[in-house]
Structure 1
Amino acid sequence: MKGRSLMSEKVTLSILETSDVHGHILPINYGNNEPAILGLAKLSTLIKQQKAKNISHTILIDNGDVIQGTPLTYYYARVNSEGTNPVISVLNAMGYDAAVLGNHEFNYGQEILQKSIRDSQFPWISANILNKGTKEPYYGKPYTIRHFDHDLKVGILGLTTSYIPNWENPNHIKDLSFESVIQTAQKWVPFLRRKEKVDVLIVSYHGGFERNLTTGEVTEHLTGENQGYQLCQEVEGIDVLLTGHQHRFLTGEVNNITILQPGDKGQALGKVNIILEKQRDKWQILEKSAQIIKVDEKTKADPKILQLTQIFEEKTQKWLDQPIGQIKGDMLIRNPMEIRTKDNALIEFINKVQMDVSKVDISNTALFSDEAPGLHSKVTMRDIVSNYIYPNTLKVLKITGKDIKDALERSASYFDDFNGKEIKVNPEFTTPKPQHYNYDMWEGIEYEINISRPFGKRVVLLLYNGKPVEPTKEYQVVMNNYRAGGGGDYVMFQNKEVVQDIPIDVSELLANYILERKVVEATINHNWKVVHD
C-alpha cells in the first residue's frame, strides 16, 4: 500500500519571481510622494496570499536589479550606510529563497554589494561571474537546491547578463570575469541533472530575450546582452527559465521550457506552477503553466514591510526635502518630446555642469525618463534625484569627429520615419522597454537633425566653434560612464582613450554645483535642433 500511494502521489510546485524591483519598497513616487501601484510592500501581500495556497512547496526568487534605483537606496549607499541595507532587511522578512545578481547590483560599488550579500539570509547566485584569479564563482555557489518532502529536489541556477563590462564603472568590477551565459549553462545544467540529480531545474537569468518567442525573429541587436531565446534552444535540461532585465511582462513556452518575466518596480509577481507525480521513485513533470499577478489599487501594502522601512524612509524624506538653491528662470519639463527636439534649459544645465567639472567644452547627456519633472525654482535633493535617476559617474573620452557624427546618427534614430504630421519615437526605443535614456543631447557643438532623412543620414549640420567638425580630428568629450562604455549601442565609444575618470555620482555633482552658487540661471543657447522637411 505504501508503494502504491507513493506511485500515485502528486504535488504542485509554485515558483514565485520578482525582478528589476530597483529599490522600490514603498508604493510611492519619490518625485512627488504621490501613491504608486508598485513596490515590495504590496508584493509582500501578494506573496503571502500565494504561499497560503501552497505553503509546503513554494520557492521565492528575486532575479536581480533590486538594491539600486530609488532615493532610499541612494541615501543608504551614498549618505548613511549604517546598519543593514533596507532592501535586504525587507527581502529577508519576505522569506526569499535565492537572489540573482543583476547588472545594477554593482552600481554602488563592491563595499555596498558585499555587505548586502553578507546580511542576506538567502544565497546570492550567479554561475558566470567569476573571480579573475581563481576562475571560481565570485559570490559563492553558482546554484542552490531546495529539498521538499519525498525527496523532491529543485535546483536553481543563477546567470547574469555578461554585457556588464560595457556599462559598469571598471572600479566596481575590476576583479571579476563575466563568462558566456550559454557556455556556463551548458556546463552547469548537466551537472545539476547528473551529479546533483535534481528533479526540477530552474534557471534564473538576469537577462531577457533577443528574439520573438513565437517566430524566432531577431528583435534586438545580437550583442549578447539578452540571450534567453538562445538558452532555450541550445541548453538541454531546463524546465523553467526566469528572466528579467528588459522590464517586460512575459509568459509562455519556448522549446518546451516555461518562460517568465514579471516587469519591473514591483508592479507584478511572476508565478510558475509545476504539477509533478512520483512514478517508480522518480518525479515526473505532468504540467507547467506561467502567469503574471499584477499589483492593483486594491492590493494593500504589508504593514510589516512598512514598519521595517519606516525609520530609514523618514531619514530619506528629510534628506530629499533639503533645499539646496534656486533656479532663476524655467527648468521644468512639461513636454518630454519638446525637450528632445530643441535645445532647452534643463539639458543645457546638466551638460554645463559636466563641462565645468571635467574642464572640457563638449558634453552629452540624456533626459532619462518621460516622468522626469525638471527642476523647480526652489531646488531640493528630491528634484535632483528625480531627474538624474542613475548613479552614473563621468568619463572624458578622446574621440574623432567621425565618432561624434556616428553618435549623433545613433541618437537621431530615436525618431521614427516622419509622416509629415507628428514626430514619433522609433519603436526600437520603446519596445520591449522604454529606452529614452539612449537619446543624447549635446552641448559645445552646433548640430541639426533632419528626421525626414533616412536613418544614418540625418545629421545635416555639425560645427565646432563655427567650423565643420573634421572626421579625423580628435576631440575630448565628457559623458556618463554608461555611454562611455558603449551602452545603448553607442559602439563608436567602446575602447576609446579615457582622458579623465570622475568617480563622483553625477547627481552629487549637480547638487554641489547648485549648493556652491546658490542661484543658477536657466539659459538656452540654441546650439541644436531637430527639423523636418
Structure 2
Amino acid sequence: METKKLQLLVTSDIHGYLMPTTYRRTVEPLGLVKLASIIEAYREQRPSLLIDNGDFIQGSPLASYVHANHIESSNPIIDVANFLNYDVAIFGNHEFNYGLPYLKEAVTQSQFPWLSGNIFNEDGTTFTQPYIVKEVDGIRIGIIGVTTHFVPIWEEASHIEGLNFHDAFESAKIWISHIRQHEQVDLVVLCYHGGFSHDLSSGALIEPFTGENQGYLMCRELDCDILITGHQHREIATKAFTKSVVQPGTKGNCLAVITIDLDMQNGQIINKHHEATLHYVDETTPNHPNVASLLDSIHQQTENWLDQPIGRIEGNMLFTDAFQVRIDKHPYIEFIQNVQMASTNTAISCTALFHDGPGGFPNDVTMRHIVTNYIFPNTLKVLRVKGEQIIQALEQNATYFSLKDGELTISESFLHPKAQPYNYDMWEGIDYTLDIRRPIGERVTEVTYQGEPLNPNACYDVVMNNYRATGAGNFPYFVDCPIVKDVQIDMTELIARYFEKNPIVQAKCRRNWTILY
C-alpha cells in the first residue's frame, strides 16, 4: 500500500491587497506579496493546487487606482496571479463592480480558468466553464465554482447585463452529479464564493437565512469532499459532515491549506484523509522578492495617487476628541451622512465614527485622508424602517453613554471585552434628543422628521452601512427590514466620487441632535 500526499492552497477575498499595507502609511501583516512567501514554502512540501475563491480584483486603493488610470494596461493583480501560477479562480460578487468589459479583460489576461457554475449567458451557456478536472500525481480532482446568486440584488444592472445568476446550491448539486458520473474524479472540491448562515458545529442559525450564504446547506447535503468558502471574510478551517471546510479571511492575511492523504492499493483509493489549517501572515513574514519587484512601479504610482489632492474643505473638519464628536455633532459626521444620502438619494442616514483617535479632513483632502478616516470596507444599504424601529435604534445608541458622578462617560459594555466605537450611530435627517439621566430604554425623549413627530407606524427609507444593516451591534430589528437599495461600492470610493462632483465642501454642521446629562 502507498499513500499519495497532495494539498490545496487557498486564498479568498484578497480584494486587490497585494502589498502589506492598507495605505495608511503603515506596514501591516497582510497582502499577496507576503502570502506568496507562504505559498512558495508550502509548495515545496507536496504536490499542490493553488485556488482563489473570489473577490480578487476589487477593493484596495491599488485596485481603485488601476481601474481609474490603467484600464488599457495589463492588470497588475492578474500579473501577480499569473506569476504565482494559480490553477483556478472563482468569481466573487465584487468581481463585477467595474463592469463586464473590465472583468472580461481580466479573465482573458489570466493564465488560469475562472469558473462559473451558476452564472449563465442569455443563450443558456455558462459565462465561463463551470468546472475543471486537474490531475495531480495521478489523482483526478474535480473543482466546481459557484458564486452567491445575490449578485443581481447588489450590482448595478449595467455591470451584469446579459447574465443570469442561478441558485448556487442547486447549480452546485447539478455539477457535482455531472462530474461524478462523467469525469471519473477521485475527489470533488466545491468552491463557493459565499459563506454560512448556520453554525457548522451546532446547526444553529447565526444570520437570517436569505439564501445569500448557503455554505451550511452545501456542507450538509452535497456530495463533495472539500468545501471552500469566502465572502464573509471569516477565518475557518474545520471539518463538518466529513468534509474539510475553509474560509481564509481577507486581504491576504492568511492561507488555507488542505492536506490530502490518499491510501492506494492496486491503483485504487482505499482511504481518504484530509485536514484543513490556516497559516497567517505576521510581521516576520518576508515579502516575496519577485512579486515585490513586479509591484514596485504600480505600488509607488498608487502611493503618489493617494497623496494627490482630491478635494478641498473650507472651514474646519478636523477633530482631536472622538468622544466629544459623539456628544456634540461635528462637520465631519455631517459630511459622511451627506455622502451616504447623496449616493442613495435618501433623506435619512445613520453612521458611526469608527475609531477613538483624532481625525477628520484637513483643508486639502487626499485619498489617503479618506482611507485613514473611513477605516472599514463598508458598502451601503437602504432599508425601509418603521418609525418605532428608528426609536429602538436611538435607544440602543443611548446605551453607549453612562453617568458617573454626574460626568458623561462611555458604558462599560462598549469598552469590554473590546472597544466598540463603531456600534454607536449618529443620525441625520431626523431631529432627536437623548436624555442620559433617564433609565435605559426611556432615554429618547423627542424625535421629529420634517418638523413633525416621527410616526411609529410609518415607514422611512434609511441609508446605513452594510454591517449595521445585518443587525450587527445589537440592532436585530434591521434584519427583517426590506432592502430598498444595495450599493456594492466601497464607501471610500463613494467619498472620492462625492468630491469629484463637489470639489469644494463647506465644513458646516446643523445640530439636529442633543445629548442631555
**Structure 1 residues without counterparts, runs of 5 or longer:** 1-7, 499-503
The residue aligned with 1:180 is 167
Change in 2 beyond 3 A, CA 1:448/1:260:
farther
Secondary structure of the 1:220 match is coil
8 Å CA contact retained: 1:239, 1:258: yes
CA shift at 1:28, angstroms? 1.6
SS of 2:44's equivalent in the other structure is helix
SS at match of 1:507: helix
TM-score of the aligned structures, taking structure 2 as reference length: 0.83
Letter in 2 for 1:20: D
2:332–2:360 contact (8 Å) kept in structure 1: yes
State the secondary structure of the residue aligned to 1:523: coil
Residue 53 of structure 1 is matched in structure 2 by 45
Within 1, Cα distance between the matches of 2:123 and 2:318?
51
Q: How many residues align?
A: 497
State the partner residue of 2:349. Answer: 364
Residue matched to 1:195: 182
Cross-structure match for 2:105: 115
Which deviations, in whole Å up to 9, do the C-alpha atoms of 1:494-518 show, x marking residues without a partner? 35899xxxxx952333322552x2x
1:342 is displaced (CA, Å) by 6.0
Q: Is 1:422–2:411 an aligned residue pair?
A: yes
Distance 2:269 2:312 in 1: 65
Q: Is the 8 A contact 1:70 1:389 kept in 2?
A: no
RMSD value, Cα = 3.9
Q: What is the match of residue 263 of structure 2?
A: 277
Partner of 1:29: 22
1:84 to 66, 74, 97: 74
The aligned counterpart of 1:18 is: 11
Task: Answer whether contact 1:353 1:513 (CA < 8 A) is retained.
Answer: no
CA separation of 1:300 and 1:356: change in aligned 2, threshold 3 A: closer
Q: Which amino acid aligns with 1:122?
A: F
Structure 1 pair 410–218 and aligned structure 2 pair: CA distance change class (3 A): farther
1:57-206 paired onto structure 2 within 5 Å: 57-131=47-121, 133-138=122-127, 140-150=128-138, 152-206=139-193
Provide closer, same or farther for how the CA distance between residues 15 and 496 of structure 1 changes in structure 2, counting only shifts above 3 A: closer
Tell me the residue number matched to 2:494: 506
Query: 2:30 aligned with 1:38, yes or no?
Result: yes
Q: Is the contact between residue 66 and residue 105 of structure 1 (CA under 8 Å) also seen in structure 2?
A: yes
Query: How far apart, in 2, do the equivalents of 1:357 and 1:187 lie?
Result: 39
Question: Tell me, what secondary structure is at the counterpart of 1:17?
Answer: strand
Distance 1:496 1:26 in 2: 33
Which amino acid is 2:499 matched to?
A
Give the equivalent residue in structure 1 for 2:197: 210
Aligned mates of 2:34, 2:20 — CA distance in 1: 7
Q: What is the one-letter code of the residue matched to 2:68?
A: R
- Matched with 1:524 is 509
Aligned to 1:293: 279
Whether 1:467 aligns to 2:452 is: yes
Q: Aligned ranges for residues 358-437 of structure 1 at < 5 Å?
A: 362-364=347-349, 366-367=351-352, 370=355, 373-387=359-373, 403=386, 406=389, 409=392, 422=411, 424=413
1:239 partnered with 2:231: no
Does the CA contact (< 8 Å) of 2:387 and 2:458 recur in 1? no
CA shift at 1:448, angstroms?
Answer: 4.8
**Percent identity of paired positions between Structure 1 and Structure 2:** 35
- What do residues 214-267 of structure 1 show as CA deviations (whole Å, max 9, x unaligned)? 2111111212222211111111x2111111122222111111011111111111
- Shift of residue 317, structure 1, vs aligned partner: 1.5
In structure 2, C-alpha distance between the alignment counterparts of 1:529 and 1:371, rounded to whole Å: 20
One-letter code aligned to 2:88 = A
How far 1:189 moved relative to its partner? 1.1
Q: Equivalents in 1 of 2:350, 2:369: separation in Å?
A: 17
Partner SS for 1:53: coil
Residue number in structure 2 paired with 1:344:
330
When residues 407 and 134 of structure 1 are mapped into structure 2, their CA distance, relative to the original with a 3 A threshold, is farther
User: SS in structure 1 opposite 2:132?
Assistant: strand
Q: Is the 8 A contact 1:486 1:494 kept in 2?
A: no
Between the aligned partners of 2:462 and 2:69, the Cα distance in structure 1 is: 26
Instruction: Note closer, same or farther for the CA distance 1:287–1:265 as it changes in structure 2 (3 Å cut).
Output: same
Distance 2:201 2:486 in 1: 42
Query: Which secondary structure state, in structure 1, belongs to the residue aligned with residue 29 of structure 2?
Result: coil
| Post-superposition CA distance 1:361-414 (Å, at most 9, x none) | 82425358549953234311221344457999999x8x97x6465466468667
Seen in structure 2, the aligned counterparts of structure 1 residues 202 and 461 have a Cα distance that, compared at 3 Å, is farther
1:36: how far off?
0.8
One-letter amino acid matched to 2:244: T
What TM-score do the two structures reach when normalised by structure 1?
A: 0.81
For 1:255 and 1:531, the matched residues in 2 are separated by: 54
- Runs of at least 5 residues in structure 2 that lack an aligned partner in the other structure: 404-409, 473-477
Q: Secondary structure at the match of 1:35?
A: coil
Which residue number in structure 2 is paired with residue 501 of structure 1?
none
The aligned runs of 1:436-475 (5 Å cut-off) are 441-448=426-433, 461-470=446-455
The aligned counterpart of 1:317 is 303
Find the aligned partners of 1:296 and 1:415 in 2 and give their Cα distance: 38
